[in-house]
Amino acid sequence: MRSKHGRHVPMWELIERTCRKDDPCNKNFSSFFGYLFERGDDTQFSEDQLIAIAQGMIDRPAKDTPDLPTPIGFAIFGQFIDHDITLDVITKLGEAFNDVEQLENIRTPRLELDSIYLAGKEASPFLYEKDSDKMIIGTSDNLLDVQRNREGTAIIGDHRNDENLFISQMQSLFIRFHNWVVDRGHNFEEAQEFVRHTYQQIIVEEFLPEIISDDVLGPLMEGFENGKLPSEYINWSKVAHMPVEFSAAAYRFGHSHVRQNYQVNDSLSGNLFDFGGFEAVPIGKNVDWKFFFDLDGKSFLKCRPIDTKLASALFDLPFAEVGLKNLAKRNLVRGQLTFGLLSGEEVARRIGIKPLPKHHVIKKLGLKQTPLWFYILAEAERNGGKLGKVGGTIVGGTLLQLLLQDKNAYINKNPDFNPFDLIPKTKSIIAGVAKAVTDYPA
Ligand code: HEM
């Protein structure tokens, strides 16, 4: 393997690079992308074909009534997870990038919230209060906003966590959760570990069962609990390099989960991008989490089913330049033209199952194969709106493997970890976190 400068770099050295001063070294991660499956089908799509698929994906329902039982907060939480583990700022849309193992992942592929803590107190002091174990939160106008510079730009661990109101408020929620734990008598390291382990348990016990059907998640969970995922068809150690099958296709299932209409709080509602993004949040826009998670058994709105449609707002991204506003097109082009992902049919064969019959959109366009992202959505469409075998295996397997290979993850360090030892008893862990931190520190 060669570095950007042409030097031969042994695998252990690539992996060493993610070790941080304040974080006991984990040698099981790389800060580069990679492939889960060996290359080797001749899948080719033209940009026109991908655009034609994307055009058919816009959701224009007569009324916005998503039918998954999943609270909409889990879609926001899903985006929050993405921003913790994967960020490619190098590849250009539509230009092939052949050497994926030399492509830097700006986030550590560890579920340890570097999007909140960045490189820790010493290397990222602008996120931390001096002489205290707490993180900096809020502006002079709104204690529940994230901290901002005088231009209103958020000073946080990952800039994407300010892209829309909801993800920005979730960033604030987790920072305040850290401070809330400190207020209960814990030092910085203890609070950080408590927050990380709570977050990881939400992923395993609440998020994955919401998005992956039981028959697919069951065997993965059994493997997880025994310390090794089923490996008949997939070499999970490749997850050390964030797999592009996950980042550029499977995990983008979430773009279909996101709904068009939201209730922000008792007096504010509207569409996804009606509330701004990348700007200061006034008090009147603070979200009331009861509309996002099951806090009172009735108020929460629900996720769109995972299917081959996306909320229409995602076809006109307000923060993107002309030519980059259509998220469905970006996903398809990034996956197939930039990374040359295997088709969905080929991935199905690689994991030992029979590919699904072609979706009518693919048939109508006369395509022999299906782009991986679209295949995974079509699979979920036939599976009651949850990820099926191909999508669920890549998404569930990758997230669970990231935890298994992290010696600091709760599953390795403290498998009996119970967040309810501290947070209020509620129906779910995430609701407990939201309840604990609502109005804190106001
Ligand atoms: C308001 C909702 C969201 C918006 C506006 C949004 C927007 C975007 C944009 C613009 C990109 C870059 C696309 C490209 O050029 O390749 C992206 C990437 C991505 N999104 Fe989303 N997204 C949203 C929600 C989600 C959710 C809910 C998930 C998953 C549950 C998700 C997963 C991803 C992943 C994995 C990437 C690739 C990140 C990387 O490796 O750089 N997104 N998203």
Q: How far is the CA of 35 from the centre of ligand 1 (A)?
A: 19
Q: Which atom of ligand 1 is nearest to the CA of 93?
A: 15
Query: Which band of pLDDT confidence, cut at 50, 70 and 90, is reported for residue 9?
Result: very low
For residue 39, the model assigns a pLDDT of 86
pLDDT in tens, 199-216: 999 999 999 999 999 999
Share of the chain above pLDDT 90, in %: 88
User: Residue range 220-228: average pLDDT?
Assistant: 97
For residue 17, the model assigns a pLDDT of 44
Q: Looking at the predicted structure, is the pLDDT value of residue 350 above 60?
A: yes
Give the residue whose CA is nearest to atom 13 of ligand 1. 330
Query: Which band of pLDDT confidence, cut at 50, 70 and 90, is reported for residue 62?
Result: low
User: Residue range 109-114: average pLDDT?
Assistant: 96
pLDDT in tens, 153-199: 999 999 999 999 999 999 999 999 999 999 999 999 999 999 999 99
Query: Which band of pLDDT confidence, cut at 50, 70 and 90, is reported for residue 27?
Result: low
104, 160, 253, 327, best to mutate for ligand 1 pocket (most atoms within 8 Å of CB): 327
Q: Looking at the predicted structure, is the pLDDT value of residue 260 above 60?
A: yes
Q: Which atom of ligand 1 is nearest to the CA of 78?
A: 30
For residue 3, the model assigns a pLDDT of 35
Share of the chain above pLDDT 70, in %: 92
For residue 67, the model assigns a pLDDT of 74
HEC string for the chain = CECCCCCECCHHHHHHCCCECCECCCCCCCCEEECCCCCCCCCCCCHHHHHHHHHCCEECCCCCCCCCCCECHHHHHHHHHHHHHCCCCCCCCCCCCCCHHHCECCCCCCCCCHHHHCCHHHHCHHHECCCCCCECCCCCCCCCCCCECCCCCECCCCHHHHCCHHHHHHHHHHHHHHHHHHHCCCCHHHHHHHHHHHHHHHHHHHHHHHHECHHHHHHHHHHHHCCCCCCCCCCHHHHHCEEHHHHCCHHHHHHHHCCCEEEEECCEEEECCCCCCCCCCCHHHCCCHHHCCCCCCCCCCECCCCCCCEEHHHHCCCCCCCCCCCHHHHHHHHHHHHCCCCCHHHHHHHCCCCCCCCCHHHHHCCCCCCCHHHHHHHHHHCCCCCECHHHHHHHHHHHHHHHHCCCCCHHHHCCCCCHHHCCCCCCCHHHHHHHHHCCCCC
For residue 13, the model assigns a pLDDT of 38
Q: Against a cut of 0.75, is the pTM above it?
A: yes
Query: Which band of pLDDT confidence, cut at 50, 70 and 90, is reported for residue 4?
Result: very low
Q: Looking at the predicted structure, is the pLDDT value of residue 292 above 60?
A: yes
Average per-residue pLDDT for the chain: 92
79, 310, 399, best to mutate for ligand 1 pocket (most atoms within 8 Å of CB): 79
Q: Looking at the predicted structure, is the pLDDT value of residue 345 above 50?
A: yes
88, 105, 255, 321, best to mutate for ligand 1 pocket (most atoms within 8 Å of CB): 255
Query: Which band of pLDDT confidence, cut at 50, 70 and 90, is reported for residue 24?
Result: very low
Q: Looking at the predicted structure, is the pLDDT value of residue 255 above 80?
A: yes
User: Residue range 227-251: average pLDDT?
Assistant: 96
Ligand 1: residues with CB < 6 A are 75, 78-79, 82, 86-88, 93, 164, 247, 251-252, 254-255, 257-258, 272, 317, 327, 330, 334
Give the least confident one: 21-25, 154-158, 273-277, 393-397. Answer: 21-25
Q: Looking at the predicted structure, is the pLDDT value of residue 143 above 80?
A: yes
pLDDT in tens, 383-416: 999 999 999 999 999 999 999 999 999 999 999 9
Q: Looking at the predicted structure, is the pLDDT value of residue 43 above 80?
A: no
For residue 409, the model assigns a pLDDT of 97
Q: How far is the CA of 167 from the centre of ligand 1 (A)?
A: 12
